[in-house]
Structure 1
Amino acid sequence: MSSDGGAVTNQTTTVRDVGPGKTVRGTVRAGELPPAAPRVTQAKVLEVTTVPASEAPAEPGTCPASGIRVSADKGDAAMGLRVVGLHLDNCGKRDYTVDGYPLLELLDDDLDPVDGIEILDGSGDITTGAGPDEPPRPVTLKPGESATAGLVWRNTTEAGTAVNVPHVRVRAKAGADPVTVTPHLDLGTTGKLGVRPWEKAER
């Protein structure tokens, strides 16, 4: 922020492996600013989202012991329709096969399950405007290959209490190690989340 408290820029930083009762110190960097930007003199933490270290997405350029890296992108929003991509990278040394849909658990700020949301196979009941889903089928990834899936919802708010889901625990398939991502799903009062099946990503 500038000296008068005005916002100059926003940055997102991941602080990894903070032990219980421990403090980690770091530096906030404003990044590249336009020439006319006011001088940055202070910083403010707007939001903190935490996940268990054992379920945190792997850092870019690293590969978990499982050989599989799961992450979520920042998503896309248009006219109330929300889409967040899930990414599955085979960074290991063996082929890896998924079949159908990623397995999801919706979690609140305390990492407790969020009830009352129907997780749908496919996005057809959410929208037809984003194109049809590919049919679920086995996808085998060779080392270095990737697959994508998607979370699709509308943030419509009508009667009732709007539901926000900060965390999603993702398993690439049954038995896979869980990874908790933080897409902050603003589900409104729709009570529905559509999940697109895994499909091989184009190189």
Structure 2
Amino acid sequence: MRSSRPRLFAPAAALLLATACGAVPADQDHGAGAAVPAPRAPVTDPPVDGVRITSVTLPAASPAPSATRGPVHADRLPGDSGIFAAYQVANDGGEAMTYTVLFAFTTDTGEVMDHREVTVSGVAPGSTRSGRVDLGVLAPGASPVTRVKIEKVGKVPAAEAPARTGGCPASGARLWADDGDAAMGLRVVGLHLENCGKTDYTLDGYPRLSLLDENREPVHGIRILHGGAAIASGTGADAPPAPLTLKPGQTARSGLVWRNTTLAGTSVTVPYVRVVARPGAAPVTVTPYLDLGTTGRLGVGAWVPADR
């Protein structure tokens, strides 16, 4: 099955640098002997959920672009493309938030040549963070990248942000969702939990789920069913619930399973899922972007050892 969508990461006190060839602070030194980048072209497009691109740099760019549309054609260089965008994240809310931003590097016609994902953690209320996201190496045969756009923004309370790496949360467990798989309308996203503490961590049964809309308000009318087999067989989320004790360093997995079938009625998309690993555990909010169509059903697997 093919990857269906990108994912969220861990809370921290400062800007976290993202996946792949990802993000670096905007003022980071490129080091002695590095090529001098082309002038940055300002971008004045409006922000997307508090995130905006402030400039885009393309090496060997042709004459200055329109401020609202981004730079024009650029020649790709061997190795690192030298293409990057500076961005700002502004939190105008009342609590610290962790943002995950998906950037798309596109051609003049809007064709996406590649994506980069950045996580900006613990942005305090009323504050702004700046950084940059690099394209890195462009795939052989790709068309020239001329623009960078914000494709998706996810934001969750910093206290509920998933934690795949970094310091161990006070709960003693890290919880996150993977990128998931999709094929023929079937979706499967894995939930993962690591005991990063110093004592045993016990699980028993299914994670508790709350489905949230883009404003992180409850979504009603969706049946949450136990076991992936309630949606489809062979998803790996079919094991019966059983007590499970994780030693420090051990991991467990569960899974979210759904179909995106659309028939009569209104399609439902659920961007956020608040997960409680066991009764009394601190909630963690992941962003699987459940495209549930009109099915009204979501399956969740029991916690099992990660090596099963």
* TM-score with structure 1 setting the length: 0.93
* Alpha-carbon distance between aligned partners in 1 of 2:303 and 2:107, rounded to the nearest angstrom: 48
* Alpha-carbon distance between aligned partners in 2 of 1:132 and 1:36, rounded to the nearest angstrom: 39
The alignment partner of 1:44 has SS state of strand
Q: Which amino acid aligns with 1:4?
A: D
Paired residues of 2:237 and 2:301 also in contact (CA < 8 A): no
CA shift digits 1:119-141 (9 cap, x unpaired): 01112221124367111000000
Specify whether residues 131 and 10 from structure 1 end up closer, same or farther in structure 2 by C-alpha distance, changes over 3 A only. Answer: closer
CA shift digits 1:145-178 (9 cap, x unpaired): 0000011111111110001000000010110000
Q: 1:145 — aligned with what?
A: 250
Q: 1:66 — aligned with what?
A: 171
Q: 1:155 — aligned with what?
A: 260
Specify whether residues 38 and 127 from structure 1 end up closer, same or farther in structure 2 by C-alpha distance, changes over 3 A only. Answer: closer
Q: 2:291 — aligned with what?
A: 186
Q: Which amino acid aligns with 2:246?
A: L
* Alpha-carbon distance between aligned partners in 2 of 1:82 and 1:3, rounded to the nearest angstrom: 29
1:89 aligns with 2:194: yes
Q: Which has the higher strand share?
A: 2
How many pairs were matched up?
A: 203
* Alpha-carbon distance between aligned partners in 2 of 1:30 and 1:158, rounded to the nearest angstrom: 39
Specify whether residues 178 and 82 from structure 1 end up closer, same or farther in structure 2 by C-alpha distance, changes over 3 A only. Answer: same
* Alpha-carbon distance between aligned partners in 2 of 1:58 and 1:132, rounded to the nearest angstrom: 22
1:19 aligns with 2:124: yes
Alpha carbon RMSD of aligned pairs, Å? 1.8
Q: Which has the larger radius of gyration?
A: 2
Sequence identity (%)? 60
Specify whether residues 3 and 88 from structure 1 end up closer, same or farther in structure 2 by C-alpha distance, changes over 3 A only. Answer: closer
1:4 aligns with 2:103: no
Pick aligned residue for 2:158 from 53, 60, 67: 53
CA shift digits 1:84-119 (9 cap, x unpaired): 000010011000000000010000000000000000
Cα drift, residue 5 of structure 1: 5.0
